[in-house]
A and B are shown apart, each in its own frame.
Chain A
Amino acid sequence: MGCCDPKTKITDQVRLYFTVILILSFLSCTIYDNNLDNPNDNEANEELGVYPPSLVFFPKQQTKTLTDTIRLGAYIVFSDTSIISFSGAHLNIQYDNSMLEIDSLAPGWIGPGSMTDSNRTTPLFTYTENSGQLDIYAYYLSTSDVSIDSVTHIAEIWFKPKSTGTSTVSYDTSLCEIVKFDENFIPINGTREASIIIQ
């Protein structure tokens, strides 16, 4: 068979045709994973086996440099249909003080709206910090039940990085407490930690 033989040409064409089809098929068949994960989202937490009420940090992971400031939110996630008359919380937060140091803290808010919303309810807020352990006490001094969202922001924490590496910030559930309006405890069913990468 010579190079210009019509049958050779057609065989080459058919081969090229199938190659193109195969390449297009492989390129077009990408199905992305739908792994939505937000620590403040109860649906995502339940898929991971973390049931409400749970203590979480937001965001779950962040990468920073030594010159950056690290901002981390501490939240309680209740069920979407929760009618618990939540009133206050004591959070015990563990962190690696060889890599991170507390820069500042700010109280969170309760009720609908954001931190800039005038409807927010500001709690009585205190904290103590001692060698990699941060205790936050937040109480809402309302005389009646407080209408709450399923996501309740307790505090916003700013860290300063001290050295590079990967560090986790977590809750010690044996020391954490959530109390109702009548000062009875609400059991904590799960926690999620935060991962901080300092480059």
Chain B
Amino acid sequence: MKFLFLIFFSIEVIYSNVEKPSILIFNQYDEDLIGTSVANHFPSKNFVKGENINPFLGSLDSLTNPASGRMFLVKDLGSELDVDYILFHQISGDSNRFMLEGQMFNTRSGGLIKRRIVDITNYYKGQMNELKLWIGDVFREVDKEWVSQRKQVLYNEPSQIIQDKTPEGAMARSLLLPGWGQFYSDAYNSGIVFSGLESVLLTSVLVSYLNYNKSVQEFKKYSKLYEESSEQIEFDKYRVLSNSEWEKHKKYNSALIYTSIASGSLWLINGIHAYIVGPRPKKDIIQKWDVAIPKQK
């Protein structure tokens, strides 16, 4: 019964354009929002509007094999309605988000031949244009005006979008200079904390090293004087001084090691922290086609 409605609406189109590829199109969106039908933009194609959209609403990624998961449904529809392709569009979103999923099936094989997921924030008045670009991409009939329109509101090519600030960039900066990545990510408080703590620890490392170095020099000097002294009053004095400097050089060496470990660890933590708090877009502007989406149980 459900397909009778489809036949009723599409029969005239099918028989008037026998030579053109026929496409059964299922749209799940508000026509008023999108505006004119996409069929008007592709006069060389014979569009048949499908009515019962429900079989296509389930997530494609939840199927064992997304490419062939709807094979029987697509083939049945193809033979029943005598169409070459089936196009399914789903548009959802709120006031500042536009999400489009486009799926293209071949009715002869029943397989998915093309798919596109578009997820854009703050993309106003471009929904219909994005839909046209997707269908145009499918049929290789992209109008330059559509590309030009996208350029005006979005980017030339979604795959070429380069984020100005990235978590990797923040981490790289913090590994070079503690706190830099946090400042770069506008996390000023943690930037101040990390740069301050690291400065204190590095100063401690430097002070420990200078004291260690001084103690070593003094130890060598007093050891030499001790060995060169034949009189008891002198070598007694130099032995005490030499032992004292030797103890100091051990103490400063330990301080140097511990402050270096602390400084190095904090430096590393600061890099990881910068990656965690690093700037990220709130949503992916354009999802890649090969994004692995967890399958529903």
Residues of A within 8 A of B (CB): 6-7, 9-10, 13-14, 17, 21, 24-25, 28-32, 34, 36-38, 40-41, 43, 58-59, 73, 75, 114, 149-151, 153
- Beta-carbon contact of B260 and A24 below 8 Å: yes
Complex CA distance for A31 and B212, rounded to whole angstroms: 10
A43, closest chain B residue (CB)? B239
Hey, which bits of chain B sit against chain A, CB under 8 A?
166, 168-169, 171-172, 175-176, 209, 212, 216, 219-220, 223, 226-232, 235-236, 239, 242-243, 246, 249-250, 253, 256-257, 260, 264, 267-268, 271
B230/A73 in contact, CB under 8 A: yes
A6, B172: Cβ atoms closer than 8 Å: yes
Give complex CA distance A9, B250 in Å: 38
- Specify the chain B residue showing the minimal Cβ separation from A156: B230
Pair B230/A32 contact, Cβ less than 8 Å: no
Q: How far is the CA of A28 from the CA of B259 in the complex (A)?
A: 12
3 cross-chain pairs, A with B, having the tightest CB-CB distances, nearest first: A6-B168, A34-B246, A151-B232
Contact (Cβ within 8 A) A41 B239: yes
Chain B residue contacts of A36, Cβ below 8 A? 223, 226-227, 239, 242-243
> How far apart are B205's CB and chain A's nearest CB, in angstroms?
9
B168 in contact with A34 (CB, 8 Å) = no
Task: Give Cα A21–Cα B259 distance, bound, in whole angstroms.
Answer: 12
Report yes or no: A149 in contact with B227, Cβ–Cβ below 8 A: no
Point out the residue from A7, A24, A28, A40 that lies within 8 Å of B168, measured CB to CB.
A7
Q: Count contacts between A and B, CB distance < 8 Å.
A: 82
From B212, which residue of chain A is reached at the shortest CB distance? A28
Q: Smallest Cβ distance from B281 to chain A, in angstroms?
A: 15
- Chain A residues contacting B171 (CB-CB under 8 Å) are 10
Q: A194 to chain B: closest CB distance in Å?
A: 12
Q: Which of A25, A40, A41 contacts B260 (CB 8 A)?
A: A25
User: Closest CB-CB distance, A86 to chain B, in whole Å?
Assistant: 15
18 pairs from A and B in contact (CB 8 Å cutoff): A10-B168, A10-B172, A13-B175, A14-B271, A21-B260, A21-B264, A25-B260, A30-B253, A34-B243, A36-B223, A36-B242, A40-B229, A40-B230, A40-B231, A40-B232, A41-B236, A59-B227, A150-B232
Q: How far is the CA of A10 from the CA of B172 in the complex (A)?
A: 6
Contact of A38 with B175 in the complex, beta carbons under 8 Å: no
Most chain B beta-carbon neighbours within 10 Å: one of A7, A25, A28: A28
Tell me which residues across on chain A come within 8 A of B230, comparing CB atoms: 40, 58-59, 73, 75, 151, 153
A32 pairs with B229, CB closer than 8 A? no
A114 contacts B231, C-beta separation under 8 Å: yes
Distance (whole angstroms) from the CB of A97 to the closest CB of chain B: 25
Known: A36-B227, A59-B227, A59-B228. A14 touches B239 (CB 8 A): no
